[in-house]
């Protein structure tokens, strides 16, 4: 029985369930570049290049194996520019008795897929995505009986399940978590490792040219485009990370430095999320480095925790709680996203640097996302849906299942603490401790009055006051509220007036730093 195997842009793994039992004699693979998916939000140009170039290379690999691939390019005549339209057109070209697809990474697409069988009038098999450690049912069974969820306990279950860094039934080194040894600022003279970047081949260059023509007004730099777009390239990136950057991963995980967006981070999320690497092989490679004495336990445990802990945990929450999850807004945040998130024109150097890194590479590391662009959005009360759309657009690794819970839950606390036990709110003092940004800023992180008062610090105290009703009973917020209550009333009133003035100016001007030399 001939089947049409529909492979989406984040299913680029030869082991993806939709391809697992393919019969090259009779089956056909359908892949389609469609405008409706590339304009859900105005994606960063490098994200578009990455996905289309990776799809084209993947299709070529299948053809080399003798598999028939029907590949629709963005500019092909007749392209309906949407997934359903391309599936319908393909069914007119090929005589097949069923469609096979792996579940997508977005609720929106899942809902659409659930209707395909009725709409198309032939069997549509939607298979689970087994590239993850934890299935949907397994996560639900873990989460549902619990009053509150903590990633740390979920992570321990995943360690036990995978056997990663386990010495029998005990965690390697006698502890589950070595974070106490991590999160140092970068010493001034420290030289981070140079990272492997990739030259585009002619196929990738053709995609770059196409994106230049079609999406010139989208956010971000198109070139240099330096991401790998094949499995071989992704494996090289993994090896290089393990050799050069993994040993310092834990220690400098939270550090930030001007002009150094990569530091000791993996740069592996785009490859993991589209299927060029698997979570299992990445974690096993890190574990091997530990047992061979090439990387310390604090680094390897910290890295593995991000993947089998956080990555699996946010995915579990997404599929458990959608579609209602995205609608909550516990802090009632509703301010428009400031234009500087797109232009990078702001007087706040921390934001300017994080947005510049994002524009240049379609990448910023976790702490830039959480504690700079995320922290500002939380403190300024940006409408969750607007800041979510920004993250989905600008990061090369952003897919709904992973972007949404990170922004909605971890950054915006819009779910009231389902995902994270407290809001990650911080004043300028945190950014000053973990980066060199404040040294080159017109503001001063500890200053709360006068011209040099740091907007992040002002907004931090204002945020605590404005959200007291919701947050003060949270046990993890006791310390910030104790500090707030120690503050002199007149000083606090002045901080609040300044914070309000800042927010009003932000709403009134398109670019907060229009009058600033850039
Ligand atoms: P490393 O720092 O080297 O971490 C190793 C791996 O751990 C990553 O490749 C990633 O697969 C995984 N990981 C780490 N933290 C998380 C997390 N919180 N959630 C899921 N996976 C995690 N990650 C995405 O893959 N896509 C997103 O759209 C995305 N959006 C985010 C938005 C916000 C506001 C925040 C705070 C985090 C977001 N993350 C997202 C998580 C994390 O920031 C990125 O996975 C990481 O920066 C990717 O770079 P890296 O490969 O160098 O990561
Ligand atoms: Fe950001 Fe404030 Fe530091 Fe400036 S002083 S970089 S605004 S935290």
Domains assigned to the chain: 3-127 (3.40.50.620), 136-321 (1.25.40.80), 340-508 (1.10.579.10)
Atom of ligand 1 nearest to the CA of 266: 3
ipTM: 0.99
Taking CA atoms, 320 is separated from 133, 141, 154, 312, 402, in Å, by 16, 10, 14, 12, 13
The maximal CA–CA distance of the chain, rounded, in angstroms, is 79
Q: Which residue's CA lies nearest to atom 8 of ligand 2?
A: 428
DSSP conformation class of 336: P
Contact 507/334 with Cβ under 8 angstroms? Answer: no
> In testing the pocket of ligand 1, which one of 391, 406, 414 has its CB within 8 Å of the most ligand atoms?
406
Question: What is the rounded CA–CA span in Å between residue 359 and residue 344?
Answer: 9
Q: Which helix (H) or strand (E) holds 71?
A: strand 68-72
Note the helical H segments in 167-292: 202-214, 231-240, 269-274, 279-291
Q: Of the bound ligands, which one is closest to the alpha carbon of residue 512?
A: 2
Atom of ligand 2 nearest to the CA of 440: 6
Instruction: Using the mean position of ligand 1's atoms as its centre, give its distance from the Cα of residue 325 in Å.
Output: 20
DSSP conformation class of 374: I
Instruction: Using the mean position of ligand 1's atoms as its centre, give its distance from the Cα of residue 398 in Å.
Output: 9
Taking CA atoms, 190 is separated from 51, 184, 187, in Å, by 34, 12, 5
Tally of CA atoms within 13 A in the half-sphere of 192 that contains its CB: 23
Instruction: Using the mean position of ligand 2's atoms as its centre, give its distance from the Cα of residue 443 in Å.
Output: 6
Cis peptide before 224 (omega within 30 of 0): yes
> In testing the pocket of ligand 2, which one of 338, 373, 437 has its CB within 8 Å of the most ligand atoms?
437
The dihedral through the CA atoms of 36, 334, 400, 113 has a sign that is negative
* Closest C-alpha among 44, 2, 39 to residue 342: 44
Contact 316/154 with Cβ under 8 angstroms? Answer: yes
Q: What is the pLDDT along the chain (518 residues), one digit of tens a residue?
A: 899 999 999 999 999 999 999 999 999 999 999 987 766 678 999 999 999 999 999 999 999 999 999 999 999 999 999 999 999 999 999 999 999 999 999 999 999 999 999 999 999 999 999 999 999 999 999 999 999 999 999 999 999 999 999 999 999 999 999 998 888 999 999 999 999 999 999 999 999 999 999 999 999 999 999 999 999 999 999 999 999 999 999 999 999 999 999 999 999 999 999 999 999 999 999 999 999 999 999 999 999 999 999 999 999 999 999 999 999 999 999 999 999 999 999 999 999 999 999 999 999 999 999 999 999 999 999 999 999 999 999 999 999 999 999 999 999 999 999 999 999 999 999 999 999 999 999 999 999 999 999 999 999 999 999 999 999 999 999 999 999 999 999 999 999 999 999 999 988 877 666 544 33
Instruction: Using the mean position of ligand 1's atoms as its centre, give its distance from the Cα of residue 366 in Å.
Output: 6
> Is residue 484 packed enough to be buried (19+ CB in 10 Å), middle (13-18) or exposed (0-12)?
middle
Q: Of the bound ligands, which one is closest to the alpha carbon of residue 349?
A: 2
DSSP conformation class of 420: S
- Which residues, judged by CB distance below 6 Å to any ligand atom, belong to the binding site of ligand 2? 348-350, 428, 431-432, 437-438, 441, 443-445, 454-456
Question: What is the rounded CA–CA span in Å between residue 271 and residue 184?
Answer: 27
């Amino acid at each position: 029985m001939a089947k049409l195997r529909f492979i989406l842009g984040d299913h680029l793994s030869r082991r993806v369930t939709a391809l697992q039992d393919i019969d090259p004699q009779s089956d056909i693979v359908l892949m389609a570049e469609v405008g409706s998916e590339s304009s859900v939000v105005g994606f960063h140009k490098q994200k578009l290049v990455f996905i289309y170039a990776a799809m084209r290379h993947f299709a070529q690999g299948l053809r080399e194996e003798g598999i028939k691939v029907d590949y629709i390019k963005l500019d092909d005549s007749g392209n309906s520019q949407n997934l359903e339209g391309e599936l319908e057109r393909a069914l007119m070209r090929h005589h097949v008795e069923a469609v096979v697809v792996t579940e997508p990474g977005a609720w929106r697409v899942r809902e659409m897929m659930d209707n395909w069988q009725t709409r198309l009038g032939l069997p549509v098999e939607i298979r689970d995505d087994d590239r993850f450690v934890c299935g949907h049912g397994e996560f639900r069974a873990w989460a549902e009986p619990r009053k509150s969820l903590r990633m740390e306990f979920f992570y321990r279950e995943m360690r036990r399940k995978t056997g990663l860094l386990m010495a029998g039934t005990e965690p390697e080194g006698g502890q589950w978590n070595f974070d106490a040894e991590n999160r140092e600022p970068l010493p001034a003279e420290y030289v981070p490792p140079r990272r492997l970047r990739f030259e585009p081949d002619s196929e990738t260059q053709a995609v770059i040219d196409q994106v230049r023509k079609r999406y010139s007004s989208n956010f971000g730099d198109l070139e240099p485009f330096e991401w790998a777009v094949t499995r071989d390239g992704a494996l090289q990136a993994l090896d290089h990370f393990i050799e050069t950057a993994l040993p310092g991963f834990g220690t400098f995980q939270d550090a930030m430095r001007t002009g150094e967006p990569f530091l000791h981070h993996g740069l592996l999320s785009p490859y993991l999320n589209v299927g060029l690497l698997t979570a299992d092989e990445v974690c096993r490679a890190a574990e091997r480095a530990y047992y061979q004495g090439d990387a310390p336990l604090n680094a390897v445990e910290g890295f593995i925790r991000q993947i089998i802990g956080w990555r699996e945990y946010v995915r579990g929450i997404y599929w458990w709680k959608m579609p209602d999850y995205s609608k909550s807004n516990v802090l009632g945040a509703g301010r428009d996203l400031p234009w500087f998130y797109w232009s990078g024109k702001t007087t706040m150097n921390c934001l300017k640097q994080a947005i510049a890194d994002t524009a240049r590479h379609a990448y910023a590391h976790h702490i830039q996302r959480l504690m700079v662009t995320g922290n500002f959005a939380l403190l300024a009360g940006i409408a969750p849906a607007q800041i979510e759309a920004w993250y989905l657009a600008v990061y090369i690794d952003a897919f709904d299942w992973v972007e949404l819970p990170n922004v909605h839950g971890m950054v915006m606390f819009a779910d009231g603490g389902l995902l994270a036990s407290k809001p990650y709110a911080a004043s300028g003092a945190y950014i000053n401790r973990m980066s060199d940004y404040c040294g080159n800023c017109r503001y001063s992180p500890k200053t709360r009055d006068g011209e040099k008062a740091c907007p992040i610090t002002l907004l931090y105290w204002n945020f605590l006051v404005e959200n007291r009703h919701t947050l003060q009973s949270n046990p993890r917020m006791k310390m910030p509220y104790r500090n707030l209550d120690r503050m002199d009333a007149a000083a606090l009133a002045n901080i609040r007036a300044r914070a309000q003035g800042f927010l009003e100016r932000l709403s009134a001007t398109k670019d907060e730093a229009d009058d600033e030399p850039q």
